[in-house]
Amino acid sequence: MSKIRIASLQMNVLQDKYDNIEQLAEILASGKTDGADIISLGEMWCCPYQTDLFPVYAEPEQQGDAWLAMSTLARKHNVYIVGGSIPESDSEGHTYNTCYVFDRQGNQIGKHRKVHLFDIYAHGEQVFKESDTLTGGDSFTTFDTEWCKMAVNICFDIRFPESSRLPALAGARVIFNPASFNMTTGPAHWELGFRQRAIENQIYMVGTADAQDPSVGYVSYGHSIITDPWGNVVMQMDEKPGVEVTEIDLDYIDTIRAKLPLMSARRTDVYELKGVE
């Protein structure tokens, strides 16, 4: 069983958490995701992308309504859900940008806290500092499925090669990277980044974004995407809300690795900085 059908849900993020949860439930009930094995959501799909709101919307693991909704919907529709990300609160008062993963029975089988926080100062043109309210994670995440091992990164993580290479070395053959690139970085680097990570690790990369909404403070680029082990774009949406179901073939990974043995040709004996002070 090498083929998997992934439903990318590019949703408009509404101001009210419960409206977003209802929107998710309605999409899954509409028939638009019928036949999909995995539902993939966007970064902060239930919370406006504003640093000051992350702690307000945050909920403890396994206790909040967004977590419960994803677990319930996974079980109801017999699908895996890679839950994009939602704000998570812990007992010590920290807030994380967290992706939960659920199996077909609604069990949580994975959890990734965004490792690299998005703090930018673009020559005064754009300032965004996630670290004002978020705490970064300290590990990379893989999870097991009925097909293979998979992994999750979140948004800015994709810019750091280690975030994809380490899960790939651990056996991940599909990496989900829910993200909200903005209207500057999106046109410049969105497609390029997903193709690059897919090529160098010879895996599938799945990037699910929130839809573009010019009326909000932080505008997501949209353009949810899936790239294959050869670096081809096998699916890319536009900026509008929508659902796309895409079939990927895991056997293609082995075909590409046999033709171009990047992973097996690695020279770990020389991958060390020498003579650098």
Calpha distance 4→10 (Å, rounded)? 19
What lies within 8 Å, CB to CB, of 167 at 6+ separation is: 140, 141, 142, 151, 153, 175
> Two tokens at 187?
């046109």
Which position has the token pair 């659902």? 243
Q: Output the CA torsion 65→70→73→74 (10° steps).
A: -150
Active site (catalytic) residues? 43, 114, 155
CB contact at 8 A, 126 and 150: no
Encode 192-205: b = buried (16+ Cβ within 10 Å), e = exposed: ebbbbbbbebbbbb
Which position has the token pair 């909404």? 213
> Two tokens at 245?
């179901």
